[in-house]
Amino acid sequence: MTTSHSAEAPPPGHLQEHFDATISRDQRIEPRDWMPDGYRKTLVRQIAQHAHSEIIGMQPEGEWITKAPSLRRKAILFAKVQDEAGHGLYLYSAAETLGADRADLTDRLIEGRQKYSSIFNYPTMSFADVGVIGWFVDGAAICNQVPLCRSSYGPYARAMVRICKEESFHQRQGYELLMTMMRGTEAQRDMVQDAVNRWWWPSLMMFGPPDDSSPNSAQSMAWKIKRHSNDELRQRFVDMTVPQAEKLGVTLPDPELRWNAERGHHDFGTPDWDELMRVIKGGGPCNDQRMQRRRSAHEEGAWVREAATAHAAKQAARAEKGAVA
Ligand SMILES: CC(C)(COP(=O)(O)OP(=O)(O)OC[C@H]1O[C@@H](n2cnc3c(N)ncnc32)[C@H](O)[C@@H]1OP(=O)(O)O)[C@@H](O)C(=O)NCCC(=O)NCCSC(=O)Cc1ccccc1
């Protein structure tokens, strides 16, 4: 539905009705369709946070590009980190279809007014961390994002399709790296187990707070932006990962983890929710470092943005002159 009504105008009943009917028929809302202000704001919030996560998420693994143990591993890691930059860019583009401005979103991140995923505030201590990030963090991202391919907002859902394909490839490369290390020396196996121990709980926290303390979930699910609750997706991730850990030969660091035949799912322990809140508020081990790096990359890139803007202005002036002539 395309309309000329601005988002601020009070919704004439039929616009709201049409929006509700589109959602309930599982059809897509597109950029020019009328949508409630809250729907637009929620999407900008989630998509921007997601984009920022991809861009900040380049840092933990990026630190290992110059230290990768072989040319092959270096090339793979380089390509993965570049893919993450690409994901950030698709997502900023999706946010722009809602009227957001990319430069403004970046300012909000840099000024600490918008969030990015807690997971990227933990350090990468060894090369095994690169494998575990692929296995756990990309694995969690897949669980969370495959349902977003059916999100009600068209441009977000479509961006997710390609992102998920790439995340699947990333997860496999992480798992393959770990399989290789597990076939290596005792010291390499210890490195893998140590990385698993450090990343397991923060990975479970990526799915967000538990359902009873998730203020946005109910409305986002009613709008079909989110298709499943935080706890449902966390459970899906645990069920998917346990057999992979067995095959790999590592132990997941949770004494409460066991199969529950009655539920048909694994039971597992409770993540430290105070830690999640602390990290979200800026108190994680690497928050300061990640933000400082992001700020300096932004400052160092100013000349590129200025040159691109000047070039675009020249092209536009030339095109206008051509049109007049
Ligand atoms: C599930 C959730 C993250 C949160 O559900 P919601 O309904 O939105 O919120 P809810 O009410 O449950 O929470 C209350 C408040 O807490 C915030 N908060 C919650 N959890 C976190 C957290 N973990 N970290 C930080 N903040 C968190 C939340 O924003 C809200 O705050 P607000 O009200 O905004 O001030 C949702 O936004 C989503 O699915 N996003 C899309 C996926 C996405 O962004 N993925 C990113 C990873 S990409 C990746 O990994 C790829 C990759 C792999 C490898 C290497 C490099 C890259």
Distance CA 246, CA 33 (A): 48
CA angle (309 as vertex; 304, 315 as ends), nearest 5: 125
Continuous H helices in 183-286: 186-205, 217-222, 230-248, 273-278
Pocket test for ligand 1, best of 216, 229, 274 (most atoms within 8 A of CB): 216
**The tokens of 260 are what?**
């529950």
What's the gap in Å between 230 CA and the centre of ligand 1?
A: 10
Atom of ligand 1 nearest to the CA of 116: 25
Length of the chain: 325
Ligand 1 atom 16 nearest Cα: 208
Distance CA 291, CA 294 (A): 5
Atom of ligand 1 nearest to the CA of 60: 55
Interacting residues of 59 by C-beta distance below 8 A, sequence separation 6+: 120, 290, 293, 294
Look at residue 157 and give its three-state secondary structure: helix
Quick one: average pLDDT of 214-219?
A: 96
Distance CA 172, CA 233 (A): 20
Q: What integer pLDDT is reported at residue 11 of this predicted model?
A: 66
Q: Which amino acid is at 157?
A: A
Task: For 255-305, write each residue's pLDDT tens digit.
Answer: 999 999 999 999 999 999 999 999 999 999 999 999 999 999 999 999 999
Half-sphere exposure at residue 67, Cβ-oriented, CA atoms within 13 angstroms: 12
Q: What integer pLDDT is reported at residue 253 of this predicted model?
A: 98
Q: Return the percentage of the chain with pLDDT > 70, whole number.
A: 96
Q: What integer pLDDT is reported at residue 1 of this predicted model?
A: 40
CB of 94 sitting under 6 A from ligand 1: no
Rg (CA), the chain: 22
Pocket test for ligand 1, best of 280, 290, 291 (most atoms within 8 A of CB): 280
Distance CA 210, CA 231 (A): 6
CB of 144 sitting under 6 A from ligand 1: yes
Ligand 1 atom 5 nearest Cα: 208
CB of 83 sitting under 6 A from ligand 1: no
Q: What integer pLDDT is reported at residue 282 of this predicted model?
A: 96
Q: What integer pLDDT is reported at residue 6 of this predicted model?
A: 46
Task: For 40-58, write each residue's pLDDT tens digit.
Answer: 999 999 999 999 999 999 9
Interacting residues of 69 by C-beta distance below 8 A, sequence separation 6+: 127
CB of 121 sitting under 6 A from ligand 1: no
What's the gap in Å between 273 CA and the centre of ligand 1?
A: 14
Task: For 144-157, write each residue's pLDDT tens digit.
Answer: 999 999 999 999 99
Interacting residues of 116 by C-beta distance below 8 A, sequence separation 6+: 49, 52, 53, 55, 56, 57, 109
Task: For 20-36, write each residue's pLDDT tens digit.
Answer: 999 999 999 999 999 99
CB of 171 sitting under 6 A from ligand 1: no
CB of 45 sitting under 6 A from ligand 1: yes
Q: What integer pLDDT is reported at residue 280 of this predicted model?
A: 97
| Average pLDDT of the residues of the chain | 95
Answer yes or no: is the ipTM higher than 0.95.
Answer: yes
Task: For 89-145, write each residue's pLDDT tens digit.
Answer: 999 999 999 999 999 999 999 999 999 999 999 999 999 999 999 999 999 999 999
Q: What integer pLDDT is reported at residue 72 of this predicted model?
A: 97
Task: For 167-180, write each residue's pLDDT tens digit.
Answer: 999 999 999 999 99
CA angle (111 as vertex; 106, 113 as ends), nearest 5: 85
Question: Residue 325 — pLDDT band, cuts 50, 70, 90?
Answer: low
Distance CA 291, CA 122 (A): 13
pLDDT for 3 beyond 50: no
